[in-house]
Structure 1
């Protein structure tokens, strides 16, 4: 059964989006992401400056959590489709926060690899359940818009937390940074406790374990297309700060502030255009901006170009995120939302992991500029893959949402 919303057709925006549950979900999502991304840019600095670890080994330490996510995300999608979503959300967040205590004792690369792996398992459960709970709360008529606002809370955290993290790390050290992450996580648990989810009928029997319970089969072509874009995101979160420091920028964490600005400005508006039927135009514009941003990032090495590139990339990714997540959810029944969201998030996890590992090798051998030229080229290819393949796959498989 196909959707009745066509290109340019308006949908009802009078349905209330900002209720108490959605606000609490957004607050929880922001705090969870803040706690996680406080450590993301500072672990490479800590490993490099304090433990004198090479870039290739830093990539290994960082990517271990991605391996855990690739294992956990598909199972998380199955779990949230079968078991109570609020309970899983609370369980995942609580275990995720508790794992921060391990960083007080991390003094070797192997310890970091193991700790990041275990931490990644609970991060995977938390994020899949958070996204699925949010989509349950959001009215279907305003799904892309709601996804946009919900997702921007994570993107703001993803962009501002690294900037704050660099300041805390430089001023007070790694232990104080871990304490800050723990505090953020504790507030996140409190926010989750206030969320009330809609009633959902329990399945008569648990569905059998099968491949299509872990990944949205008909979304695999979209998934492959997504990898070309998430590769670059992996190089950003892992190496943007180091790249900035090597080009003489004092607090390279400012990159994430401009990235956040672009994400916020675009993400809160792009969802509205997706809901009105301009999905494909939004995606093509987003990928084109990402391609341009990476090219500028690789080509020009001064503070102005550094910040401008970050802003362009922010606008591109902020426009892409809600559109891409809407594509997956519009191809799945409501009983498979967990699977749809885990597929979407796994697409980023796998691409980010590949980006971290391959980016570490490319930057080590050819330099950071070469690495970002590669990401720009992959994004350029992604535009054509989307228009000539992914767009057609979506149109064949989208279903009427409720």
Structure 2
């Protein structure tokens, strides 16, 4: 029996640490900016949605170009440049006191976040052995998702106890530590390109993956409503520290993500995707109609299991349809799908919350996830099988 190639080498561990710290710094602000805008500036949910979605608009603009650049130029220097610019943008929050300032700052921050995340994911894939790619992606991605879940819980507590500026201080410290960590990564040397490829649409988006990209919008819609409004929804339903939602979300993500990649590598990718989407739908349904602290936590756990299972499977779908020379393009397409869906979730979710309330918004979110399951099973599955590289 051949020995498995090793995933957990020094470079992969350092890449995970750097990525975790960057993701933590970013996600400290996701639940607290809505609270700050609502409590300190008296802003309505519809305007909060505009502020939050401005970074997603920036990501939509920059991601495809990042995929092209990462495929052409050295990836580690681009990773360092991306996170350095990203961390420097945090200084702007010390001076953000108006809605317009927040909109512009979040847009700029989104541009830098786009370069940092595309280069980070592509560096990780270069380090991971090809035979264990989905498993490795699962391990690498889980630290991002843990950051998405734990950082908001910590952020709410810091914000309540010490205020917004102390929160920015914490984000900056994490960011500087991430830069130091990334400096020590050794990335495999790639063969130098004879010439820079001609700029064309297929260098920015994985064209054969566009039907799956459309499917992904319904999937990521739910994540947008979640990160933007879960805390406000919890407070509205009488849960004092609604940030606990993200702890249970993290628990579900960790439990599922570290194991789901193995099932994908064994050829069960479609069953993994379908199961994940069904679990997410059930989680959002419970979140919408049950308002006790116990239901709040169980729903978070189910949603975490669903998304934790889905993330590595969906990313592997894109990667398996692209040659190694287009891994950056595949990653940027995958990430852009989430950016667009999250942005739609924030904007449309804000409108729905304003007019129909948070419960109806999350009920519609559950419906969107069921639509995603239907589209995947009857369309995306076939698209993948026809286009994946053997």
Tell me the TM-score normalized by structure 2. 0.99
3-state DSSP of counterpart to 1:169: helix
> Residue 264 of structure 2 corresponds to which residue in structure 1?
274
* Structure 2 CA distance for aligned equivalents of residues 40 and 295 of structure 1: 23
Q: 2:6 aligns with which of 13, 16, 20?
A: 16
- CA displacement at 1:14 relative to structure 2: 1.1
- CA displacement at 1:339 relative to structure 2: 0.2
- CA displacement at 1:202 relative to structure 2: 1.3
- CA displacement at 1:13 relative to structure 2: 6.6
**How many pairs does the alignment contain?**
390
* Structure 1 CA distance for aligned equivalents of residues 68 and 112 of structure 2: 15
> Residue 243 of structure 2 corresponds to which residue in structure 1?
253
The superposition leaves residues 221-250 of structure 1 with CA deviations (integer Å, 9 ceiling, x where unpaired) of 110111001001000000000000000000
Report 1:150-169 matches (<5 A): 150-169=140-159
> Residue 253 of structure 2 corresponds to which residue in structure 1?
263
> Residue 359 of structure 1 corresponds to which residue in structure 2?
349
Q: 1:110 aligns with which of 70, 86, 100?
A: 100
Tell me if the contact between 1:218 and 1:397 (Cα under 8 Å) persists in the aligned partners: yes
Q: 1:46 aligns with which of 30, 36, 39?
A: 36
Q: 1:388 aligns with which of 354, 378, 381?
A: 378
Q: Is 2:206 the counterpart of 1:216?
A: yes
* Structure 1 CA distance for aligned equivalents of residues 114 and 223 of structure 2: 17
* Structure 1 CA distance for aligned equivalents of residues 367 and 358 of structure 2: 14
The superposition leaves residues 307-356 of structure 1 with CA deviations (integer Å, 9 ceiling, x where unpaired) of 00000000000000000000000000000000000000000000000000
Tell me if the contact between 1:12 and 1:141 (Cα under 8 Å) persists in the aligned partners: no
Q: Is 2:226 the counterpart of 1:236?
A: yes
> Residue 101 of structure 1 corresponds to which residue in structure 2?
91
5+ residue gaps in structure 1?
A: 1-10
> Residue 141 of structure 1 corresponds to which residue in structure 2?
131
- CA displacement at 1:106 relative to structure 2: 0.4
Tell me if the contact between 1:34 and 1:158 (Cα under 8 Å) persists in the aligned partners: yes
* Structure 2 CA distance for aligned equivalents of residues 228 and 255 of structure 1: 22
Q: Is 2:27 the counterpart of 1:37?
A: yes
Q: Is 2:317 the counterpart of 1:327?
A: yes
* Structure 2 CA distance for aligned equivalents of residues 19 and 299 of structure 1: 45
- CA displacement at 1:12 relative to structure 2: 6.5
Q: Is 2:308 the counterpart of 1:318?
A: yes
* Structure 2 CA distance for aligned equivalents of residues 26 and 105 of structure 1: 32
Moved over 3 A (4+): none
The superposition leaves residues 77-119 of structure 1 with CA deviations (integer Å, 9 ceiling, x where unpaired) of 0000000000000000001001100000000000000000000
Tell me the TM-score normalized by structure 1. 0.96
> Residue 279 of structure 2 corresponds to which residue in structure 1?
289
Alignment root-mean-square deviation, CA: 0.8
